[in-house]
């Protein structure tokens, strides 16, 4: 099924030396704004900054995200997506930073199968790219 969307949202991260753990909360713009159907996504993950300088941070990361969407408003069933991705993150700047990341990996979709009348699932590959602005406390 098609799930392509542009997500916007917030990310909260805590740094422990070279490690940064984070949580994210986002919504899909196409579905939520242009199709009036709320499409939330929550995620957690961790980045290990191999380059950890004042104005430059680069490192690999692992993240998991879950999103859900109801296609058919009169149904009780939601489609659920589980994403387990690895990728890389780059942060430029000191107090205010620009961030860039790219991730890819396993994408599992769970949905209600109208033929078998049971929950069903398909696995595929997924990817995302992310551009953000970071403020450091």
Partner 1 sequence: MSGRIVLIALLLVSCSKNKDFDQINVIGHAATGLEILNSVYHDNSKEAVELALSIEGCNGVEIDIQLSKDGTLWLFHDDQLEKETNGIGCVNDLTDNELSAIEYKTIHTEKLTRLKDLNFTLFKGKQLFLDLRHYTACSGIFVNVNQVITDLNLLNLQTITDLDVHCILSYDQWISPFTAAGYKVDYSIFNMNEFNIFTNLYPSVSGFVVRNSDFDKNEITLIKNANKDLFIFEIRSPKGIRSALNKNPDAVITDDICATLIEKY
Instruction: Tell me if 113 contacts partner 1 by CB under 8 A.
Output: yes
Out of 51, 53, 72, 136, the residue judged to bind partner 1 by CB under 8 A: 72
- The count of other CB atoms within 10 Å of the CB of residue 96 is 10
Give the interface segment with partner 1, choosing from 11-19, 48-56, 59-67, 107-115 (CB under 8 A): 107-115
Structure-token match 């993150």, residue found: 89
Scan residues 11-70 and list those touching partner 1 (CB under 8 A). Answer: 27, 30-38, 69
Q: How far is the CB of 5 from partner 1 (least distance, A)?
A: 10
Out of 54, 55, 125, 131, the residue judged to bind partner 1 by CB under 8 A: 125
Token pair listed for 121: 């699932």
Cβ neighbours of residue 5 under 8 Å, at least 6 residues apart?
28, 29, 30, 31, 39
| Phi then psi dihedrals of residue 33, to 5 deg | -90, -55
| Residue 51, burial from CB neighbour count under 10 angstroms (0-12, 13-18, 19+) | exposed
Residue 7 or 49: which CB sits closer to partner 1? 7
Q: How far is the CB of 131 from partner 1 (least distance, A)?
A: 19
CA distance 99 to 57: 9
Question: Which residues of the shown chain bind partner 1 in the complex (CB under 8 A)?
Answer: 1-4, 27, 30-38, 69, 71-75, 77, 79, 109, 111-116, 120, 122, 124-126
């Amino acid at each position: 099924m098609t799930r392509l969307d542009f997500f916007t949202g917030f990310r909260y991260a805590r740094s422990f030396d070279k490690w940064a753990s984070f949580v994210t909360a986002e919504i899909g713009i196409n579905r939520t704004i242009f199709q009036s159907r709320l499409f939330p996504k929550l995620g957690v993950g961790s980045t290990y900054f191999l380059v950890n300088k004042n104005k430059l941070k680069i490192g690999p990361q692992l993240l998991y995200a879950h999103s859900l969407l109801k296609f058919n408003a009169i149904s009780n069933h939601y489609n659920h997506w589980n994403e387990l991705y690895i990728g890389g993150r780059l942060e430029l700047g000191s107090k205010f930073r620009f961030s860039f990341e790219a991730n890819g990996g396993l994408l599992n979709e769970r949905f209600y199968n109208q033929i078998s009348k049971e929950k069903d699932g398909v696995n595929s590959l997924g990817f995302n790219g992310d551009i953000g602005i970071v403020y450091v406390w």
